[in-house]
Amino acid sequence: MTIQPESLVPDIARDLDVSAALLRMHLLSKSLYAVESSGFSFLRFRQPCGKVEEGTVVFETPTGGVEYMRGFPKIRRVYDIGAGLRKHFPTPFYVEEKMDGYNVRCALVGGRFAAVTKGGLVCPYTTENLRHVVESGFFHDHPSLMLCGEVVGLANPYQTKSYPRARDFGFFVFDARDRVSGKPLPPEKRYRIVKEYGLKGVRVLGKSKSSDSRKLLSLVRKIGEDEREGIVIKSLDGCMQAKYTSNQSTNSDLRYAFRFPFDYAQAFFFRRLVREAFQAHELGLKGAALKREAARLGESLLIPLVQTIRDVSEGREVVEEFELLVPSREFAANFVEHLRHLGVKASMRSVKREGRRFRAKVARHYQSTNDKTRSYLEGEFGGE
């Protein structure tokens, strides 16, 4: 079934409270466009459109109707946790762990399970794995809701980090929202539902208030020492959210990105350096403590970059390898093709049977890093 975008404009305008004229402008500019993927036909909002968030998806059902998954709103970041809490959270709030994975929304669409990434694409790998994790009874009882969660584990194509509760693949609910309006359930209600249906949720670290900022700063520091990412602060109704991450997590991001330095925008590096500086200031680091923090940051920047230069100079391609647990060899090959359609250069390294499933090893190629590094080693001029 091929989706006809223009025919859906009146329904979308009415349901999402956005003007039909604005929708047509986005169709013309291709910031709203049709996608056929994983057996689904849908429209993807690649950019915000009026009140409609980036990543919103509009599915066409076999009966000709439409179903929605609103995009997940951006969670703003505080750089100074004390000042940020005083300004934005005057009343008590919940504190939850921020996990280091990739953001997924899932629901039943036309009776079929679909997992959508933050950017608004149905991911075949995530859909296949989550259908075995999320109890479908939840969606039959709550058809108007979508579950929003973090996928973590070593067996995934986007962010490979193991957690004690999920070595290979795990889904941890951090939100539940109305699929059409995007309105969140209050955290306390979500906690009850997650427990009732036997789902896994992110760790709830308690209820707090803005005057507890020093305690929260210490908590984030401890989370970082445990190689975790940070915290998310949520108002009691779930409508106001903010995130705050540990310096250790920021170091980890930089250590990874400097392995592939020419494939990341300079803003990626700069924002993380600024985070480091603000947290060091708020912690009151001085003298030897500040020098230790600076040395750790320097290692995160220099060591992976030198390793990349050394590998290229010795004739080795710099790649990132990850593993996937898939139902068949054909599924693995199709997923690699899916990555290529997304603009990711990837190739299959091996596929081995593991019980009833297969473990596929995939390489992601970073062309800019390899080409640019090689050209500098050959004496080409760089930037000013």
Q: Is residue 178 a contact partner of residue 239, using CB atoms and an 8 Å limit? A: no
Work out the percent of the chain whose per-residue pLDDT is above 90. Answer: 77
| Residue range 87-97, pLDDT digits in tens | 999 999 999 99
**What pLDDT, on a 0 to 100 scale, did the predictor assign at position 285?**
94
> What would the two tokens of residue 223 be?
């989370």
Report the pLDDT averaged over residues 111-130: 92
In CATH, the architecture of 5-69 is Roll (3.10)
pLDDT in tens, 190-220: 999 999 999 999 999 999 999 999 999 999 9
Q: Is 223 exposed, middle or buried (0-12, 13-18, 19+ CB in 10 A)?
A: buried
- Contact (CB, 8 A) for 18 and 182: no
3-state secondary structure of 323: strand
Q: Specify whether the CB–CB gap between 224 and 249 falls below 8 A.
A: yes
SS3 32: strand
Q: Are the C-beta atoms of residues 276 and 228 closer than 8 Å to each other?
A: no
What's the rounded Cα separation, in Å, for the pair 36 and 34? Answer: 7
Q: Which residues contact 160 (CB under 8 A, 6 or more apart)?
A: 153, 154, 322
- Cα–Cα dist 289/42, whole Å: 53
> Is 33 a residue whose pLDDT tops 80?
yes
What is the average per-residue pLDDT within 319-344?
A: 90
| Residues whose CB is less than 8 angstroms from the CB of residue 325 and which lie 6 or more positions away in sequence, other chains included | 129, 155, 168, 169, 354, 357, 358, 359, 360
CATH class of 248-313: mainly alpha
Residue 132, SS3 per DSSP = coil
User: How far, in whole angstroms, is CA 156 from its chain's centroid?
Assistant: 12
**Contact criterion met (CB below 8 Å) for 235 and 91:** yes
| pLDDT above 60: residue 336 | yes
In the structure encoding, which two tokens stand for residue 44, read together?
């993807």
- Of 214, 287, 300, the residue nearest 261 (C-alpha): 300
Chain centroid offset of residue 165 CA: 18
pLDDT at residue 312, rounded to an integer: 97
What value does the mean pLDDT take over residues 348-354?
94
Contact 154, 162 (CB under 8 A): yes
- Residue-wise pLDDT tens digits, 250-287: 999 999 999 999 999 899 999 999 999 999 999 999 99
Domain ranges of the chain: 5-69, 76-245, 248-313, 319-365
- pLDDT bin (cut points 50, 70, 90) of residue 162 is low
Q: How many CA atoms lie within 13 A of 85 on its CB side?
A: 22
Distance CA 347, CA 357 (A): 20
| CA–CA distance, 122 with 126 (Å, rounded to integer) | 8
DSSP H/E element including 173: strand 170-178
pLDDT tier, 227 (very low <50, low <70, confident <90, very high otherwise): confident
Give the separation between CA 249 and CA 209, rounded to whole angstroms: 24
In whole angstroms, what is the distance from residue 115 CA to residue 109 CA? Answer: 10
Q: Nearest 5°: phi and psi at 352?
A: -130, 140
What does the DSSP 8-state code read for residue 185? P
**Residue 249 dihedral angles phi and psi, to the nearest 5°:** -65, -40
Give the architecture (CATH level 2) of 76-245: 2-Layer Sandwich (3.30)
**How does residue 161 score in pLDDT terms, banded at 50, 70 and 90?**
low
Q: pLDDT at residue 84 above 60?
A: yes
Sheet holding 170-178, edge to edge: 112-117, 102-109, 145-152, 170-178
With 90 as the cut, is the pLDDT of residue 132 above it? Answer: no
Q: DSSP labels for 345-361?
A: -EEEEEEEEETTEEEEE
Q: Read off the pLDDT band of 1 (50, 70, 90).
A: low
